[in-house]
Amino acid sequence: MGYVAIKGGGQAIEGSKAVFDYLRTRQGGDAQPLDTATIENQLRLLHSRVMSEGGVYHPRLASLAIKQAQGDSLEAAFALRAYRSTMPRLAETGALNSDGMRITRRISSAFKDIPGGQMLGATTDYHLRLMRMDLLDESPERFRAIAAEWFEGRDPDEVPDSFPKVLDALRAEGMLPALDPAKGGGEPFDITREPLIFPVPRSAALATMARGEQGGLLAIAYSSMRGYGDIHPTVAELRVGYLPVTLPHPVTGEPMEIGEVEITECEVVAMYEAHEGQDECEGEPMFTLGYGACFGHNEVKAISMAILDRGLQKGMRDGPSNPAEDPEFVLLHVDGIDSMGFCTHYKMPHYVTFQSDMDRLRATQKEYRKGDRT
């Protein structure tokens, strides 16, 4: 038979699954399968990214997702999201106050001396990006010794658990408007239960970006940083740590801690404007704010989100003058699950639509040639 029929799809899929799985094991010899704890610890930042984009805080399943996706962060986040679709919602926490975060790292680029001090913590920011050849053939003994010796001679009480927020100092100075409790009190928009119908509230924008894809957020935020926008951001505070999660006790109703989630939080102070709040400072020039937060340790994402939040607030108020200020442009294009899915779908058969395209092209060419001769 000369032509190719669309047959044997089922067999092809099974074969494809099998060879994908084989590639995971092809190292052969005495290779060990990856265990999920290794992924969570030694691929810590990839793991953070997957939990954040998946929108589910489940460290063990995030590791499993990375393992089965063979390290593809988009695929892994996708598996976590699909898992969430099968889970009913049992309870909702109230808004959590990040003042009580157990901090592992916090910095401010606005002030040298911040209340509580700067704490650099774990970061690659000041690493020389030189290849660490010693890790190529790392001895397990040395590897274990680093962990074993880490707390020797360190006083765990030396570093406080929580720090005051940098923004509070700026508020006290009158450079930022006072917190408006009326603004923060509303029910946050739930993007997992409601579609985005524009215009959307700021909480919907924040939630969408919190599980947005890092590269997508960065690219659009970078356009704003470079010149398609004038946010002029300064990182007032960037903090990484563990945020206690509370739920009301089923009997007493008192809030009780049920666990904690690692998050990264960023507050940027941006270009000042006349204050719009209906208080005694109305009309006074004040700095403006942008906020970013996501699961896990992911600073590029939190900073990008904070910059976009500031841009979007302006776009929602005055209309967008740049792509990064346009809520539809930003919010409908930063989701990694949506965008990678649609990109991938182009690999599927499009025989029928292409047949139809050829029909139009041939008809149009025929018209063109007719015109040519006259």
Partner 1 sequence: MSAGMQFGFLDEYAKREIRRASLKAVAIPGYQVPYSSREMPMGRGFGTGGLQLTLSLIGPGEMLKVIDQGSDDSVNAVNLRAFIEMTCPGIETTTSTVEAELIQSRHRIPERPLREDQFLVLQVPYPDPLVIVESSEEKRKMLHGEADYSRLLVKLYEDIVKFNEITISHRYPTRIADHYVIDPSPIPRWDVPKLDQSPALVLLGAGREKKIYAVPPYTKAEPIAFEDVPFRVEDFYDQKGQRRACARCGCRNSFLDEYVDSTTGELVYRCSDSDWCDEQLLIGDAPEAAHG
Q: Minimum CB separation from partner 1 for residue 3, in Å?
A: 4
State which residue, 54 or 241, has the beta carbon closest to partner 1: 54
State which residue, 9 or 28, has the beta carbon closest to partner 1: 9
Q: Minimum CB separation from partner 1 for residue 278, in Å?
A: 27
State which residue, 60 or 350, has the beta carbon closest to partner 1: 350
Number of separate helices (H) and strands (E) present in the chain? 14, 4
254: CB partners within 8 A, 6+ apart: 248
Alpha carbons 233 and 224: distance in angstroms, whole number: 10
Q: Minimum CB separation from partner 1 for residue 371, in Å?
A: 7
Q: Give all strands (DSSP E) within the chain, no chain letters.
A: 102-107, 234-248, 255-274, 285-295
State which residue, 72 or 260, has the beta carbon closest to partner 1: 72
Residue 220, classified by CB atoms within 10 Å of its CB into exposed (0-12), middle (13-18) or buried (19+), is buried
- The Cα-based distances of 36 to 11, 41, 66, 141 in angstroms read 31, 9, 9, 21
State which residue, 8 or 156, has the beta carbon closest to partner 1: 8
Footprint of partner 1 on this chain (CB under 8 A)? 2-10, 12-13, 78-79, 81-82, 84-89, 192-199, 328, 332, 337-338, 340-346, 348-353, 355-360, 362-364, 367-368, 371
Q: Minimum CB separation from partner 1 for residue 357, in Å?
A: 5
Alpha carbons 268 and 290: distance in angstroms, whole number: 5
State which residue, 22 or 351, has the beta carbon closest to partner 1: 351
Alpha carbons 134 and 83: distance in angstroms, whole number: 39
State which residue, 12 or 95, has the beta carbon closest to partner 1: 12
Q: Are the beta carbons of 316 and 193 closer than 8 angstroms?
A: no
Q: Minimum CB separation from partner 1 for residue 58, in Å?
A: 14
Q: Minimum CB separation from partner 1 for residue 318, in Å?
A: 15
Q: Minimum CB separation from partner 1 for residue 33, in Å?
A: 20
Token pair for residue 273?
Answer: 């404007």
Q: Minimum CB separation from partner 1 for residue 122, in Å?
A: 31
State which residue, 16 or 38, has the beta carbon closest to partner 1: 16
Q: How many CA atoms lie within 13 A of 92 on its CB side?
A: 8
221: CB partners within 8 A, 6+ apart: 303, 304, 305, 307, 308, 324
- The full DSSP string for 331-349 is HTT--HHHHHHHHHHTTS-
State which residue, 268 or 308, has the beta carbon closest to partner 1: 308
Q: Minimum CB separation from partner 1 for residue 27, in Å?
A: 28
- The full DSSP string for 6-70 is S--HHHHHHHHHHHHHHHHHTT-TT--PPPHHHHHHHTHHHHHHHHHHHT---HHHHHHHHHHTT
Closest among 47, 165, 36 to 100, alpha carbons compared: 165
